[in-house]
Amino acid sequence: MDKLVIDGGISLNGEIRIAGAKNSALPILAATLLTDDTVTIRNLPHLYDITTMLELLGCMGVEPVVDEKMNVEVNTSTIRDFNAPYDLVKTMRASILVLGPLLAHHGKADVALPGGCAIGSRPVNLHITALEKMGADIRVEDGYIKAKMEGRLKGAHIFMDVSTVTGTENVLMAATLADGQTIIENAAREPEVVDLAECLIAMGAEIRGHGTDTIIVEGKEKLHGCSHAVMPDRIETGTYLIAAAATRGRIKLKDTRPDILEAVLSKLEEAGADIRVGEDWIELDMHGKRPRAVSLRTAPYPAFPTDMQAQFTAMNAVASGSGSITETVFENRFMHVHEMIRMGASMEVQGNTVLVTGVPELKGAPVMATDLRASASLIIAALVAKNQTVVDRIYHIDRGYECIEEKMQLLGARIRRLPG
């Protein structure tokens, strides 16, 4: 397995461009299953999870055409198999997103129960219950969700027990081809859900309320092709901003969107960062100063994102003062804490909260990544540590960060990849 070797103690400085959002690109790729026309998706990030989703379409008989700029043309009219096999689904939970589109357009889908990150249970029963309310016949057997439908799905009033992003996206996609009106209440409000809705609207869907907790969809008999650019990745943006703040650096990020990062930017300002923004850029300058510790609590958008929690934990490790970080979205999401303690961090987990008292410096050590965002936090810890840190099991990071070592090198980091 590949490792990252990082020599710490350098302040990040420079500018980079932000990639397209993985969590937007994956549902949009699944949405291509809703039409027989060609859909062109631009600004796809160059990531392992994207490759997996393209492979998943490929094993169904679809042949996506990708150019050198990671723009992809997808025409699903050649589909011959409606099965999402375990071999692909186990590596990526987002594979469940093909369930709604396959069922709505083709009347059948066999999707393996998902795998993915080890950060707690993310139940698929919400997806199943909602699609059953729309008239689907669904059984779970032999490790597969086996769904079928005679004729069109029926519009329905769906209340989500828990605000779930992939659950909202699956129902939203299915509803675009349903007979009648679908109302999704307690819908996820994340910008990635809005981006998917905008793509569906470009395909001819009639949707309103996206970005609020009530989405209304008027079903259509068919959708058509379109061209859509994936929004910038807010989590990648936040990760580089926090890395710069932790290392007392100064960076400019281009091709991003400050308007969807307000919770993160306000916490960075609280930590002492000087932040300037434009329509599609963000600049952060610590003026060489040590960050101040911040306290935060994760919650669904527009509150503080769970996917930024680990990175702030790393910044707090070397900040002045103490901060508490409370995780309310996923259980099991403090596995990075034990690795940081090996590097000399002063942290204590109490239930779903980690208490962090900043220390003057961390020390390099061999550490192991346990999930995608934990990997990013360990890289930030390594950047501020004295001496050398080796981060093992970095295949997690390749699922969510495009060319992370190259981008870090552009900012002055001493980081290199060692093949496994």
pLDDT in tens, 400-409: 899 999 999 9
**What is the rounded average pLDDT for all residues in the chain?**
95
pTM: 0.95
- pLDDT score at 122: 54
What pLDDT band is residue 333 in, cutting at 50, 70 and 90? confident
Q: What is the mean pLDDT of residues 338-363?
A: 97
Q: What is the mean pLDDT of residues 5-16?
A: 98
Task: Decide: helix, strand or coil at residue 355.
Answer: strand
Q: What is the mean pLDDT of residues 27-36?
A: 98
199 is catalytic: no
Q: What is the mean pLDDT of residues 224-246?
A: 98
- pLDDT score at 117: 43
Residue 31 has pLDDT above 90, yes or no: yes
Question: What is the distance between the alpha carbons of residues 363 and 390, in angstroms, rounded to a whole number?
Answer: 11
Mean pLDDT lowest for which of 32-41, 144-153, 211-220, 331-340? 331-340
- pLDDT score at 382: 98
Q: What is the mean pLDDT of residues 98-111?
A: 97
For residue 98, give the amino acid letter. Answer: V
Q: What is the mean pLDDT of residues 169-196?
A: 98
pLDDT in tens, 13-24: 999 999 999 999
Do the Cβ atoms of 32 and 26 come closer than 8 Å?
no
- Classify burial at 403, counting beta carbons within 10 Å of its beta carbon; exposed 0-12, middle 13-18, buried 19 or more: middle
What pLDDT band is residue 299 in, cutting at 50, 70 and 90? very high
- pLDDT score at 371: 87
Say which DSSP state 149 is in: -
Do the Cβ atoms of 195 and 230 come closer than 8 Å?
yes
Q: What is the mean pLDDT of residues 266-280?
A: 98
112 vs 118: which has the higher pLDDT: 112
Active-site option among 59, 117, 199, 403? 117
Residue 129 has pLDDT above 80, yes or no: yes
Q: What angle do CA 2, 311, 266 make, to 5 degrees?
A: 150
242 vs 94: which has the higher pLDDT: 242
Q: What is the mean pLDDT of residues 273-294?
A: 98
User: Got the DSSP string for 162-230?
Assistant: S--HHHHHHHHHHHTTSBSEEEEES----HHHHHHHHHHHHTT-EEE-BTBSEEEEE--S-----EEEP
With a pLDDT cut of 90, the percent of the chain lying above it is: 88
- pLDDT score at 115: 55
Do the Cβ atoms of 200 and 31 come closer than 8 Å?
yes
- pLDDT score at 28: 98
- pLDDT score at 119: 38
Mean pLDDT lowest for which of 60-64, 81-85, 123-127, 407-411? 123-127
